[in-house]
Structure 1
Amino acid sequence: MVRARDFVDARLYPTEEDVVQDAFRHLLRARPDLRIRLAVHRYETESLSAAKAASLAGVSWAQMKDILMEHQVPLRLGAETLEEAEQEAQALRAFFQDPA
């Protein structure tokens, strides 16, 4: 069995983490279905936006919205609480008032 350490010892990668990250990149490129399932999972379990989930899945925002609906995952559009809405409004005000 090949280990990540073998690649480092052969000086093909600087660290085992680099080996693992490259392997993940290739796996997700070869298996777009896994990219989509991972994006759906992260959207469900993290504060990942639909746009970021779409980027992770390698699809457009509109496609991601359809994928989430197909997986019966409720869309989080906009603030869920009054406090979140107020924080978003404050952030927008600060952004548009900043002269930079």
Structure 2
Amino acid sequence: MIHAQTLVDAHLYPNQEAVMADALRALLHDKPQLRIELAIHRYQTEDLSLAQAAHIAGVSFDRMKALLLARNIQLRLGPADADEARKEIAEMERIIARRELP
């Protein structure tokens, strides 16, 4: 088994936290179902919008909605106030900007 510190000692990563972050990114990339489960968990336990959950899960808005409904999870549709609406717009603009990068 390789330890995180070994990769740091080999100057492949600046610290163990960077190793773990990269390992988690790779894990979630290789196992899409984990991304979906994580998004569902965060939707239930955090103040996460449906669009944000869909982005984390790597699925469309409609697919995320269907996944939540299939588990009888109540949907929170629409912002509660103008400030929340602005935050959602900003988040969607960030997501779109990332997808437009080469």
Q: What TM-score range do you get, normalising by the shorter chain?
A: 0.7 to 0.9
Cα deviation 1:61-96 (Å, max 9, x = unaligned): 1110001111211100135xxxx44xx27x77xxxx
| Residue of structure 1 in register with 2:42 after alignment | 42
**Count of residue correspondences:** 85
**Aligned twin of 2:23:** 23
Note the 1:1-100 alignment, pairs <5 A. Answer: 1-79=1-79, 84-85=80-81, 88=82
Aligned-partner Cα distance in 2 for 1:4–1:70? 39
Following TM superposition, the consecutive aligned residue runs of length 4 or more in structure 1 with deviations greater than 2 angstroms are none
Q: Structure 1 stretches of 5 or more lacking a match? A: 93-100
Q: TM-score under structure 1 normalisation?
A: 0.77
Superposition deviation, residue 2 in structure 1: 2.1
Aligned equivalents of 1:73, 1:6: Cα separation in 2: 43
List runs of 5+ in structure 2 lacking aligned partners: 87-102
Percent of pairs with identical residues: 51
TM-score (norm 2): 0.76
Q: Compare CA radii of gyration and give the structure with the larger one.
A: 1
Q: RCO greater where, 1 or 2, for CA within 8 Å and sep 6 or more? A: 2
In 2, the alpha carbon distance for the partners of 1:33 and 1:24 equals 14
RMSD: 1.7
